[in-house]
Amino acid sequence: MNYRLLLLLLFVFTSCRHERKIDTAFYYWKTVYKDNNTETNYIKSLHASALYTRIMDVDIDKVSGRLIPVSPIIFKVKLPDSVQIIPVVFIVNDALRNLTKIELDALAQHITSFVNGKVKQAGKTSYPELQIDCDWTVTTKNNYFYLLHKLLEHPALKGKALSATLRLHQLKNLKRNGILPVNKAMLMCYNMGNLRKHGNQNSILDIEEFKKYAHNNVTQYPLPLDVGFPLFNWAVVFRNKQYAGISRTIKLAQLQNKNQFIFIGDNRYRAIANLPQFYLLKNDEIRWEDTGINNINTLARYLSPLFKNDNLKLIYFHLDENIIKNYTPRQLQETADILR
């Protein structure tokens, strides 16, 4: 009798469960949008619903001291008809620090006007969502939240959603940091470690580090959450054990060239000679940081039970042939399936 009751209860609970709906999308973080067959094929293969397109950065001009658009995107061709554009504006944190409310009002107007112009250049008549990206801190929170309020109320965004990125340090202490005044947030699951610290860590994606910030904070966050997963990699350079920057020219295959580098353990290499083509000196240490599909899937398995929403958008960072070719469309689809 107990056994039959257990089977009945199991049937009831499993039959009541339903899969979460996952929409897959990509970030597009390059300054020029143009035709690329590989990138287009990934969009089609994954039935990507949207392209979260970086429109511009907002920063302070060093000469005039005024806020300016930095490296705005140029559309060489129109976006595919099947893909929605989600404009993304990155705001440099320090640019917000000393702004008055009048200046923040003006910034909200400039952002919406500039975005509308770029959306038309992309061949779109409208967009469903505007996303703001900013690594805001406690010292800039009031100005940033005020700006988000002004954007949320702006006539240009009537009928549209306003979202904002949510970094782990912003998520960690909800009482101090507060809740973003937007319709929904995008949880950034990358750049979570100390990039400048010497050692063998991975500052792009570290599951154990992620767990320190996430868990209860994800389940308790009162806004609907989307999630951003990393696909990129980079080479972090140290000179005399001091951070010297990120190399955009070195790839893993080059680090494995024994005529130029020696492997010193874990994910670290050392230059055995001056290598001006890489802007390296002899004995410079390079830490290769990667994501890897196994780490991404581990992250997805950890996060899946934490999300409360039935509809979730998974946004891969970012759509670039040199990055996405390290993953097959099937692998990226399997990651999305884990989140269901």
DSSP 303-331: HGGG---SEEEEEEE---HHHHTTS-HHH
Q: Is the dihedral of CA 13, 14, 18, 24 positive or negative?
A: positive
User: Do 279 and 310 have their domain in common?
Assistant: no
Whether residue 14 lies inside any domain: the answer is no
Looking at residue 19, its pLDDT comes to 85
Domain encompassing residue 225: 22-233+293-338
Are 177 and 141 contacting, i.e. CB atoms less than 8 angstroms apart? Answer: yes
Give me 108's structure tokens.
């909200």
Distance of alpha carbon 164 from alpha carbon 133, whole angstroms: 6
Residue 267 lies in a domain: yes
- Of 227, 210, 229, 218, the residue nearest 308 (C-alpha): 218
Give the integer Cα–Cα distance in Å for 279 and 219. 45
Q: Are residues 137 and 220 in the same domain?
A: yes
The pLDDT, as a whole number, for residue 4 is: 52
- Count other C-beta atoms under 10 Å from residue 182's C-beta: 24
How many residues belong to the chain? 340
CA dihedral sign of residues 164, 170, 171, 175: negative
In a domain, 299, yes or no: yes
Q: What is the pLDDT of residue 11?
A: 42
Residue after which a domain boundary falls, among 273, 289, 305: 289
265 & 252 share domain: yes
Domain assignment present for residue 313? The answer is yes
Domain boundary among 289, 307, 324: 289
Q: Tell me, yes or no, whether 152 and 219 share the same domain.
A: yes
Place of tokens 């240009």: 156
Nearest to 272 by CA among 280, 262, 286, 287: 262
Are the beta carbons of 43 and 333 closer than 8 angstroms? Answer: no
- Tell me the C-alpha to C-alpha distance, in Å, between residue 334 and each of 21, 202, 294, 315, 339: 14, 23, 11, 14, 9
Mean pLDDT per block of 10 residues along the chain (340 residues) reads 45 53 97 96 96 98 95 97 97 97 98 98 98 97 98 97 97 92 97 91 93 92 97 96 94 96 96 96 97 96 94 97 96 96
Residues 124, 220, single domain; the answer is yes
pLDDT of 335 reads 97
Same domain, 210 and 168: yes
Cross-strand pairs, 105: none
Which residue among 289, 304, 320 closes a domain? 289
Task: Say if residue 29 is exposed, middle or buried (CB neighbours under 10 Å; 0-12, 13-18, 19+).
Answer: middle
Residues 285 and 148 in one domain: no
In a domain, 4, yes or no: no
Give the C-alpha separation, 180 to 146, whole Å.
10
Same domain, 223 and 238: no
Q: Report if residue 258 sits inside a domain.
A: yes
Q: The whole model's pTM is what?
A: 0.92
**239, 182: one domain:** no
Q: What is the pLDDT of residue 150?
A: 98
Q: How many domains in the chain?
A: 2
10 in a structural domain: no
Pair (248, 113) in one structural domain: no
The burial class, CB within 10 Å (0-12 / 13-18 / 19+), for 304 is middle
Non-local (6+) Cβ contacts of 56 within 8 A are 69, 70, 71, 72, 73, 89, 90, 114, 118
Domain identity same for 245 and 324:
no
> Rounded to whole angstroms, how far apart are CA atoms 42 and 226?
20
* pLDDT at residue number 18: 57
Q: Is residue 13 part of a domain?
A: no
Quick one: 149 and 247 in the same domain? no
Q: Return the H-helix or E-strand segment holding 28.
A: strand 21-28
3-class DSSP state for residue 161? strand
CATH number of 33's domain: 3.20.20.80
- The per-residue pLDDT for 13 is 41
